[in-house]
Amino acid sequence: MRFQDVISINDFRKEDIDYVLRVAERLEEELKKEGTLKYAKGKVLATLFFEPSTRTRLSFESAMHRLGGAVIGFAEASSTSVKKGESLMDTIRTVENYADVIVIRHPREGAARLAAEVARVPVINAGDGANQHPTQTLLDLYTIKKEFGKIDGLDIALLGDLKYGRTVHSLAKALSYYNVRLYFVAPKGLEMPRHIVEEISNKVEIVETSDLEAVIPKVDVLYVTRIQKERFPDPAEYNKIKGSYKVDLKVLEKAKDTLKVMHPLPRVDEIAYEVDNTKYSAYFRQVWSGIPVRMALLGILLGVIK
Protein backbone atom coordinates (compact mmCIF):
# COMPACT_ATOMS: atom_id res chain seq x y z
CA MET A 1 0.00 0.00 0.00
CA ARG A 2 1.26 3.44 -0.80
CA PHE A 3 0.08 5.16 2.37
CA GLN A 4 0.70 5.02 6.08
CA ASP A 5 -2.77 5.66 7.46
CA VAL A 6 -6.33 4.54 6.76
CA ILE A 7 -8.47 7.67 6.88
CA SER A 8 -10.89 7.60 3.95
CA ILE A 9 -11.85 5.03 1.37
CA ASN A 10 -11.28 7.81 -1.16
CA ASP A 11 -7.55 7.48 -0.54
CA PHE A 12 -7.63 3.89 -1.79
CA ARG A 13 -6.95 2.97 -5.39
CA LYS A 14 -8.49 -0.25 -6.63
CA GLU A 15 -5.16 -2.03 -6.31
CA ASP A 16 -4.90 -0.92 -2.65
CA ILE A 17 -8.29 -2.38 -1.89
CA ASP A 18 -7.48 -5.62 -3.70
CA TYR A 19 -4.22 -5.85 -1.79
CA VAL A 20 -5.95 -5.48 1.60
CA LEU A 21 -8.55 -8.07 0.64
CA ARG A 22 -5.83 -10.51 -0.46
CA VAL A 23 -3.88 -10.07 2.78
CA ALA A 24 -7.10 -10.50 4.78
CA GLU A 25 -7.81 -13.75 2.97
CA ARG A 26 -4.33 -15.03 3.67
CA LEU A 27 -4.57 -14.09 7.36
CA GLU A 28 -7.96 -15.74 7.70
CA GLU A 29 -6.48 -18.99 6.40
CA GLU A 30 -3.49 -18.78 8.71
CA LEU A 31 -5.81 -18.02 11.62
CA LYS A 32 -7.82 -21.15 10.90
CA LYS A 33 -4.72 -23.27 10.72
CA GLU A 34 -2.62 -21.90 13.54
CA GLY A 35 -5.00 -20.13 15.90
CA THR A 36 -3.58 -16.81 17.01
CA LEU A 37 -0.72 -15.42 14.93
CA LYS A 38 2.47 -13.68 15.97
CA TYR A 39 2.89 -10.86 13.46
CA ALA A 40 2.17 -8.11 15.99
CA LYS A 41 3.96 -9.70 18.93
CA GLY A 42 5.31 -6.96 21.15
CA LYS A 43 3.29 -4.26 19.38
CA VAL A 44 0.75 -2.06 21.15
CA LEU A 45 -2.48 -0.72 19.66
CA ALA A 46 -4.16 2.33 21.22
CA THR A 47 -7.93 2.53 20.68
CA LEU A 48 -9.02 6.13 21.24
CA PHE A 49 -12.80 6.17 21.17
CA PHE A 50 -13.90 9.75 21.78
CA GLU A 51 -17.41 8.49 21.21
CA PRO A 52 -18.53 4.99 22.10
CA SER A 53 -18.82 2.28 19.44
CA THR A 54 -18.50 -1.01 21.21
CA ARG A 55 -18.70 -3.36 18.25
CA THR A 56 -16.07 -1.47 16.24
CA ARG A 57 -13.77 -1.18 19.25
CA LEU A 58 -14.07 -4.86 20.18
CA SER A 59 -13.49 -5.86 16.57
CA PHE A 60 -10.22 -3.92 16.37
CA GLU A 61 -9.10 -5.16 19.80
CA SER A 62 -9.86 -8.76 18.89
CA ALA A 63 -8.02 -8.34 15.57
CA MET A 64 -4.98 -6.99 17.39
CA HIS A 65 -5.00 -9.88 19.88
CA ARG A 66 -5.39 -12.39 17.02
CA LEU A 67 -2.28 -10.82 15.49
CA GLY A 68 -0.45 -11.43 18.77
CA GLY A 69 -0.35 -7.80 19.93
CA ALA A 70 -1.53 -5.88 23.00
CA VAL A 71 -4.14 -3.13 23.43
CA ILE A 72 -4.51 0.02 25.52
CA GLY A 73 -7.15 2.72 25.17
CA PHE A 74 -10.41 4.25 26.26
CA ALA A 75 -14.01 3.53 25.33
CA GLU A 76 -15.43 7.03 25.67
CA ALA A 77 -14.17 10.56 26.00
CA SER A 78 -15.61 11.24 29.44
CA SER A 79 -12.47 10.14 31.21
CA THR A 80 -9.85 11.84 29.09
CA SER A 81 -7.74 14.95 29.26
CA VAL A 82 -10.08 16.45 26.71
CA LYS A 83 -12.13 17.58 29.68
CA LYS A 84 -9.13 19.56 30.92
CA GLY A 85 -9.14 21.48 27.64
CA GLU A 86 -6.41 19.55 25.89
CA SER A 87 -6.35 19.70 22.11
CA LEU A 88 -6.71 16.56 20.00
CA MET A 89 -3.24 17.30 18.62
CA ASP A 90 -1.67 17.11 22.07
CA THR A 91 -3.56 13.93 22.89
CA ILE A 92 -2.23 12.31 19.72
CA ARG A 93 1.32 13.52 20.31
CA THR A 94 1.06 11.99 23.78
CA VAL A 95 -0.43 8.65 22.82
CA GLU A 96 2.00 8.08 19.93
CA ASN A 97 4.58 7.59 22.67
CA TYR A 98 2.57 4.73 24.13
CA ALA A 99 1.53 2.79 21.04
CA ASP A 100 2.71 1.51 17.66
CA VAL A 101 -0.59 2.18 15.91
CA ILE A 102 -3.66 4.26 16.79
CA VAL A 103 -7.32 3.60 16.01
CA ILE A 104 -9.43 6.71 16.51
CA ARG A 105 -13.18 7.27 16.62
CA HIS A 106 -14.26 10.87 16.99
CA PRO A 107 -17.56 12.74 16.67
CA ARG A 108 -15.94 15.56 14.69
CA GLU A 109 -15.51 15.30 10.94
CA GLY A 110 -11.86 15.55 9.94
CA ALA A 111 -10.55 14.51 13.36
CA ALA A 112 -8.97 11.31 12.05
CA ARG A 113 -7.21 13.14 9.21
CA LEU A 114 -5.82 15.66 11.69
CA ALA A 115 -4.65 12.86 13.96
CA ALA A 116 -2.88 11.16 11.06
CA GLU A 117 -1.11 14.38 10.09
CA VAL A 118 0.16 14.88 13.62
CA ALA A 119 1.09 11.31 14.53
CA ARG A 120 4.40 9.63 13.76
CA VAL A 121 2.68 6.24 14.13
CA PRO A 122 -0.01 4.99 11.72
CA VAL A 123 -3.62 6.06 12.35
CA ILE A 124 -6.79 4.18 11.39
CA ASN A 125 -10.10 6.02 11.21
CA ALA A 126 -12.85 4.07 12.98
CA GLY A 127 -15.46 6.71 12.15
CA ASP A 128 -15.35 10.49 12.33
CA GLY A 129 -18.76 12.04 12.58
CA ALA A 130 -20.95 11.55 9.53
CA ASN A 131 -17.85 11.40 7.39
CA GLN A 132 -15.86 8.21 6.90
CA HIS A 133 -15.58 4.70 8.29
CA PRO A 134 -13.26 3.07 5.75
CA THR A 135 -12.73 -0.25 7.53
CA GLN A 136 -16.49 -0.90 7.35
CA THR A 137 -16.34 -0.47 3.59
CA LEU A 138 -13.38 -2.80 3.28
CA LEU A 139 -15.05 -5.50 5.35
CA ASP A 140 -18.21 -5.10 3.27
CA LEU A 141 -16.21 -5.71 0.10
CA TYR A 142 -14.42 -8.61 1.74
CA THR A 143 -17.75 -10.18 2.65
CA ILE A 144 -19.09 -9.88 -0.89
CA LYS A 145 -15.90 -11.38 -2.29
CA LYS A 146 -16.06 -14.28 0.14
CA GLU A 147 -19.74 -14.99 -0.47
CA PHE A 148 -19.46 -14.97 -4.28
CA GLY A 149 -15.76 -15.59 -4.91
CA LYS A 150 -15.70 -12.28 -6.78
CA ILE A 151 -17.15 -8.78 -6.86
CA ASP A 152 -17.18 -8.22 -10.62
CA GLY A 153 -20.35 -9.11 -12.42
CA LEU A 154 -22.71 -8.76 -9.46
CA ASP A 155 -25.95 -6.82 -9.12
CA ILE A 156 -25.93 -5.04 -5.78
CA ALA A 157 -28.75 -3.10 -4.13
CA LEU A 158 -28.18 -0.54 -1.41
CA LEU A 159 -31.36 -0.07 0.59
CA GLY A 160 -32.49 2.44 3.19
CA ASP A 161 -31.48 5.97 4.07
CA LEU A 162 -29.04 6.60 1.25
CA LYS A 163 -28.98 10.36 1.87
CA TYR A 164 -27.46 10.48 5.34
CA GLY A 165 -25.94 6.99 5.70
CA ARG A 166 -22.17 7.34 5.48
CA THR A 167 -21.75 3.57 5.14
CA VAL A 168 -23.57 3.42 1.81
CA HIS A 169 -21.78 6.49 0.43
CA SER A 170 -18.37 4.92 0.99
CA LEU A 171 -19.53 1.53 -0.20
CA ALA A 172 -21.03 2.94 -3.41
CA LYS A 173 -17.79 4.70 -4.24
CA ALA A 174 -15.69 1.64 -3.53
CA LEU A 175 -17.99 -0.62 -5.55
CA SER A 176 -17.64 1.73 -8.52
CA TYR A 177 -14.09 0.38 -8.90
CA TYR A 178 -15.62 -2.94 -9.91
CA ASN A 179 -17.71 -4.14 -12.80
CA VAL A 180 -21.06 -4.15 -10.98
CA ARG A 181 -24.60 -2.85 -11.46
CA LEU A 182 -25.82 -0.79 -8.50
CA TYR A 183 -29.44 -0.34 -7.39
CA PHE A 184 -30.05 2.59 -5.06
CA VAL A 185 -33.33 1.82 -3.31
CA ALA A 186 -34.49 4.66 -1.06
CA PRO A 187 -37.72 6.28 0.01
CA LYS A 188 -38.43 9.68 -1.45
CA GLY A 189 -36.35 12.39 0.18
CA LEU A 190 -33.65 9.95 1.28
CA GLU A 191 -32.12 9.26 -2.14
CA MET A 192 -28.39 8.96 -2.73
CA PRO A 193 -26.88 12.49 -2.96
CA ARG A 194 -26.47 13.79 -6.52
CA HIS A 195 -22.74 14.39 -6.18
CA ILE A 196 -22.10 10.74 -5.43
CA VAL A 197 -24.30 9.50 -8.24
CA GLU A 198 -22.53 11.83 -10.66
CA GLU A 199 -19.10 10.89 -9.41
CA ILE A 200 -19.56 7.20 -10.10
CA SER A 201 -22.20 7.05 -12.85
CA ASN A 202 -19.57 7.02 -15.59
CA LYS A 203 -17.95 3.96 -14.05
CA VAL A 204 -20.89 1.71 -13.15
CA GLU A 205 -24.49 1.29 -14.22
CA ILE A 206 -26.85 2.78 -11.66
CA VAL A 207 -30.56 2.17 -11.20
CA GLU A 208 -32.35 4.54 -8.84
CA THR A 209 -35.71 3.53 -7.51
CA SER A 210 -37.97 3.49 -4.49
CA ASP A 211 -39.52 0.16 -5.42
CA LEU A 212 -37.87 -2.57 -3.38
CA GLU A 213 -40.18 -5.32 -4.65
CA ALA A 214 -39.16 -4.76 -8.25
CA VAL A 215 -35.47 -4.88 -7.38
CA ILE A 216 -35.45 -7.99 -5.22
CA PRO A 217 -35.55 -10.63 -8.03
CA LYS A 218 -32.68 -8.98 -9.88
CA VAL A 219 -29.92 -8.63 -7.32
CA ASP A 220 -27.19 -10.80 -5.88
CA VAL A 221 -26.62 -8.61 -2.81
CA LEU A 222 -29.17 -6.66 -0.80
CA TYR A 223 -27.31 -4.27 1.48
CA VAL A 224 -29.76 -3.01 4.11
CA THR A 225 -29.28 0.04 6.37
CA ARG A 226 -31.40 1.78 8.93
CA ILE A 227 -34.05 4.32 8.08
CA GLN A 228 -34.00 6.72 10.98
CA LYS A 229 -37.28 7.96 12.34
CA GLU A 230 -35.89 11.40 13.11
CA ARG A 231 -35.36 12.08 9.39
CA PHE A 232 -39.11 12.29 8.86
CA PRO A 233 -41.13 15.37 9.73
CA ASP A 234 -44.31 13.28 9.75
CA PRO A 235 -44.34 10.08 11.89
CA ALA A 236 -47.17 8.63 9.81
CA GLU A 237 -44.97 8.91 6.71
CA TYR A 238 -42.17 7.14 8.57
CA ASN A 239 -44.35 4.26 9.64
CA LYS A 240 -45.60 3.70 6.12
CA ILE A 241 -42.11 3.63 4.66
CA LYS A 242 -40.70 1.54 7.45
CA GLY A 243 -43.29 -1.11 6.70
CA SER A 244 -42.58 -1.25 2.99
CA TYR A 245 -38.80 -1.42 3.48
CA LYS A 246 -38.67 -4.08 6.12
CA VAL A 247 -36.89 -7.14 4.79
CA ASP A 248 -38.78 -10.26 5.83
CA LEU A 249 -39.49 -13.67 4.35
CA LYS A 250 -42.37 -12.34 2.30
CA VAL A 251 -40.21 -9.65 0.71
CA LEU A 252 -37.61 -12.29 -0.10
CA GLU A 253 -40.05 -14.67 -1.78
CA LYS A 254 -39.02 -13.64 -5.27
CA ALA A 255 -35.33 -13.35 -4.52
CA LYS A 256 -32.69 -15.32 -6.36
CA ASP A 257 -31.70 -18.47 -4.57
CA THR A 258 -28.21 -17.10 -4.13
CA LEU A 259 -29.19 -13.66 -2.82
CA LYS A 260 -27.16 -12.49 0.17
CA VAL A 261 -28.60 -9.95 2.61
CA MET A 262 -26.03 -7.73 4.31
CA HIS A 263 -26.27 -5.08 7.03
CA PRO A 264 -23.56 -3.06 8.82
CA LEU A 265 -25.40 -3.57 12.13
CA PRO A 266 -26.68 -2.77 14.65
CA ARG A 267 -30.10 -3.36 13.15
CA VAL A 268 -33.28 -2.23 14.77
CA ASP A 269 -36.06 -3.81 12.73
CA GLU A 270 -35.04 -3.34 9.10
CA ILE A 271 -34.49 -7.09 8.82
CA ALA A 272 -36.97 -9.45 10.45
CA TYR A 273 -35.45 -12.01 12.81
CA GLU A 274 -37.04 -14.75 10.72
CA VAL A 275 -34.43 -14.03 8.02
CA ASP A 276 -31.51 -14.79 10.36
CA ASN A 277 -31.44 -18.52 9.82
CA THR A 278 -32.18 -18.57 6.10
CA LYS A 279 -29.67 -19.04 3.30
CA TYR A 280 -30.03 -15.35 2.50
CA SER A 281 -28.55 -14.03 5.73
CA ALA A 282 -24.90 -12.95 5.43
CA TYR A 283 -24.86 -10.17 8.03
CA PHE A 284 -23.33 -12.13 10.88
CA ARG A 285 -20.62 -13.53 8.62
CA GLN A 286 -20.12 -9.89 7.66
CA VAL A 287 -19.33 -9.15 11.31
CA TRP A 288 -16.68 -11.85 11.23
CA SER A 289 -15.10 -10.25 8.15
CA GLY A 290 -14.08 -7.33 10.37
CA ILE A 291 -11.47 -9.53 12.04
CA PRO A 292 -9.35 -10.57 9.03
CA VAL A 293 -9.76 -7.18 7.34
CA ARG A 294 -8.68 -5.25 10.44
CA MET A 295 -5.88 -7.73 11.05
CA ALA A 296 -4.71 -7.05 7.51
CA LEU A 297 -4.79 -3.28 7.97
CA LEU A 298 -3.06 -3.41 11.35
CA GLY A 299 -0.43 -5.77 10.03
CA ILE A 300 0.24 -3.74 6.89
CA LEU A 301 0.44 -0.41 8.73
CA LEU A 302 2.67 -1.89 11.44
CA GLY A 303 4.97 -3.08 8.69
CA VAL A 304 4.89 -6.66 9.95
CA ILE A 305 3.10 -8.09 6.92
CA LYS A 306 4.51 -7.81 3.42
Where along the sequence are the contacts to a second copy (CB under 8 A)? 35-36, 41-44, 46, 49, 52, 54-55, 58-59, 61-62, 65-66, 70-76, 78-81, 84-86, 89-91, 93-95, 97-99, 265-268, 273, 276, 284, 287-288, 290-291
Instruction: List C-alpha distances in Å: 291 to 27, 28, 266, 278.
Output: 10, 8, 17, 23
Check whether 133 is labelled as a binding-site residue.
Answer: yes
> Which residues are CB-contacts of 1 (< 8 A; sequence separation ≥ 6)?
16, 19, 20, 300
Looking at the Cβ atoms of 99 and 224, the one nearer to a second copy is 99
Looking at the Cβ atoms of 187 and 290, the one nearer to a second copy is 290
The H or E element containing residue 64 is: helix 54-66
DSSP 147-206: HHS-STT-EEEEES-TTT-HHHHHHHHHHTTSS-EEEEE--TT-PPPHHHHHHHTTTSEE
Check whether 107 is labelled as a binding-site residue.
Answer: no
Looking at the Cβ atoms of 175 and 301, the one nearer to a second copy is 301
Check whether 226 is labelled as a binding-site residue.
Answer: yes
State the minimum distance, in angstroms, from the CB of residue 79 to a second copy.
3
State the minimum distance, in angstroms, from the CB of residue 48 to a second copy.
9
Rounded Cα gap, residues 304 and 30, in angstroms:
15
- Residues with a known catalytic role: 55-56, 84, 105, 133
State the minimum distance, in angstroms, from the CB of residue 71 to a second copy.
8
Rounded Cα gap, residues 306 and 303, in angstroms:
7
Provide the edge-to-edge strand list for the sheet that holds 70-74: 70-74, 44-49, 101-106, 123-128
Check whether 55 is labelled as a binding-site residue.
Answer: yes
The DSSP output letter for 276 is: T
Check whether 105 is labelled as a binding-site residue.
Answer: yes
State the minimum distance, in angstroms, from the CB of residue 49 to a second copy.
8
Number of other CB atoms surrounding residue 154 within 10 Å:
20
Check whether 286 is labelled as a binding-site residue.
Answer: no
Looking at the Cβ atoms of 91 and 125, the one nearer to a second copy is 91
Number of other CB atoms surrounding residue 173 within 10 Å:
18
Looking at the Cβ atoms of 150 and 285, the one nearer to a second copy is 285
State the minimum distance, in angstroms, from the CB of residue 88 to a second copy.
11
- List, as residue ranges, the binding site for L-aspartate: 84, 166, 226
- List, as residue ranges, the binding site for carbamoyl phosphate: 55-56, 105, 133, 136, 265-266
